[in-house]
Amino acid sequence: MNRMLTATDRTGVKKDADTPRLAKIGNSMRRHRTAILVLQWIVVVFYFFLLIIPGFMALPPEDAHLYDNLRLFAQFLFWGIWWPFVMLSTMLLGRVWCGVFCPEGALTEFAGRHGLGRSIPRWMRWSGWPLTAFVCTTIYGQLISVYDYPKAALLILGGSSVAAVVVGFVYGKGKRVWCRYLCPANGVFSLLAKIAPVHFRVNEEAWKRDTTRQPMVDCAPLIDIRHMKSASACHACGRCSDFKGAVTLAARSPASEILNTNNHDVKTEEALMLVFGVIGIATAAFQWSASAYLVEMKTAMATWLIDHNSFFLLQDDAPWWLLTHYPAAHDVFTWLDGICILIFVVGGGSALGLAVLTAVWLAARLANHPTLSWQRLALSLVPIAGAGIFLGLSMLTLSHLKAERIPLEWVPATRAILLATGSGFSAYLGWKLTVVRFSVRPLLAFSVSLLPIVLIDAIWVAIFFV
């Protein structure tokens, strides 16, 4: 297609009447970088306002509403709107939240531009941090009821923000070192962005053809843009749009990245993050509070302790920053509560992850194809994992709406549609990856690859419909 160049702006972005609409949006993001920076700092101010002030407010009265109580409003905004729809936006638009809105990203990058600029230590580059940070943050959040109390949110989110600033100041050099290596949500975002139907596409041939000397793109998440093939690490900030005429915001099939990924491009840590983190631990964390199994376990353990005249674990004297302790709200965890939550989330999440891992590994072995490792096949579960994350977080949204007496008759059908969409998409990916030819082994491999989907569906159906 011939390109009719009409002008070139001061940023070097070509204005082209024939440029596709998505590409124009990407170019506009590069041209209006200052506006994005202003937006980021507005989000930073709003973020800290809603994070800090409610943490020092009294418990809301029983007749309080979202629209007349800042504490309830902040709680709803953080956990009812922000987190579930950030996850949804990542599945639809890539990591636009990270590159355009995230307050921690803006803070760590700003601190890095005015910091010490030390070399990134080897320990920080450990590929196991995404899973470790996600699991630890998730479990700790359950123990102190981060979804329900502003002080707990201030401790976890505020602590994460302080850590982001410190890491940026010491090691940043103007880059988002925190986001790349240590952010607790980085692993989740990296996985969900793989199915986004838009991404910044890089044409390596066009890059090679353009031999003009240009200042290199200031890529905050430290990506080798020229060789970028995945949307996982890209923050979709638009800074590189149309660089050398080779980087373009473009549409793609949501299945394309996972289907075109090679075995060597999928790290084992990434697959484990999906299986044990996003599917295992996250699912257990969403469901422990409604689990009859946890109640039975706690009752049995409490009975045994009483029969043996051991009452220490039945005490409720733990500080609020270690276990939930809000007597005024009649919400206090005993040490036994904490132990039972740990057993359920860690034990149940690990058991679920192990079951999923076993099925994926067995399916890959049955497929017996050199281009299909179990790590690559595991990526077929990203859609159902993403649906589970959104459904779990939206439970908090719906609890707030229910308290406001907003009609929720539409919820069961919507949940069923979301679950069916995620399941169908994962099944489609599993089919395309395993059935490279019609014979017994590939078909058997595909059948086994469906087992994790059936298991995950059964868990959510039991919670929502049974």
> Is 343 among the domain residues?
yes
How many domains does the chain divide into? 2
> Is 243 among the domain residues?
yes
Query: Please, what is the end-to-end C-alpha distance for the chain in angstroms?
Result: 56
Please give the pLDDT value at position 15.
Answer: 52
296 contacts: CB under 8 Å, gap ≥ 6? none
Quote the crossing angle between the two packed helices 382-403 and 411-434, to the nearest 10°. Answer: 170
Please give the pLDDT value at position 258.
Answer: 97
Final residue of a domain: which of 251, 274, 295?
251
13: exposed, middle or buried (Cβ count in 10 Å: 0-12, 13-18, 19+): buried
232 contacts: CB under 8 Å, gap ≥ 6? 190, 191, 193, 194
Q: Which two tokens mark 252? A: 């793609």
Within 10 Å of residue 394's Cβ, how many Cβ atoms? 22
In terms of domains, do 270 and 365 share one? yes
Nearest CA to 143 out of 341, 281, 392, 282 is that of 341
In terms of domains, do 226 and 292 share one? no
Quote the crossing angle between the two packed helices 129-143 and 335-342, to the nearest 10°. Answer: 150
Please give the pLDDT value at position 16.
Answer: 53
Please give the pLDDT value at position 436.
Answer: 83
Please give the pLDDT value at position 419.
Answer: 97
> CB of 138 within 8 A of CB of 198?
no
Please give the pLDDT value at position 18.
Answer: 57
Torsions phi, psi for 152 (to 5 deg):
-65, -40
> Is 12 among the domain residues?
yes
In terms of domains, do 400 and 452 share one? yes
In terms of domains, do 236 and 370 share one? no
Dihedral angle over CA of 175, 181, 184, 188, nearest 10: 100
243: exposed, middle or buried (Cβ count in 10 Å: 0-12, 13-18, 19+): buried
> Is 368 among the domain residues?
yes
- Structural domain of 225: 5-23+198-251
Please give the pLDDT value at position 91.
Answer: 97
> Is 131 among the domain residues?
no
Question: Please, how many CA atoms are within 13 Å of residue 22, restricted to the half-sphere of its CB?
Answer: 13
Please give the pLDDT value at position 215.
Answer: 86
Residue 7 three-state SS: strand
> CB of 285 within 8 A of CB of 135?
no
Final residue of a domain: which of 186, 217, 251?
251
In terms of domains, do 240 and 300 share one? no
> Is 273 among the domain residues?
yes
Beta bridge partners of 8: 14
> CB of 372 within 8 A of CB of 350?
no
- pLDDT mean for each 10 residues of the chain (466 residues): 41 56 94 95 96 93 90 93 95 97 96 94 95 97 95 96 97 94 97 97 92 88 94 96 94 97 94 98 94 94 95 95 95 97 97 98 94 97 97 93 92 96 98 90 96 97 90
Residue-wise pLDDT tens digits, 423-464: 999 999 999 999 987 889 999 999 999 999 999 999 999 999
209 CA to centre of own chain? 37
Q: What is the pTM of this model?
A: 0.92
Q: Which two tokens mark 366? A: 């049955």
> Is 59 among the domain residues?
no
Residue 250 three-state SS: strand
Nearest CA to 461 out of 431, 426, 418, 406 is that of 418
Q: Which two tokens mark 155? A: 């401790």
Sign of torsion over alpha carbons 410, 411, 416, 418 = positive
Residue-wise pLDDT tens digits, 270-291: 999 999 999 999 999 999 998 8
Please give, one letter per residue, the 3-state secondary structure of 307-336.
HCCCCHHHCCCCCCCCCCEEHHHCEECCHH
In terms of domains, do 332 and 276 share one? yes
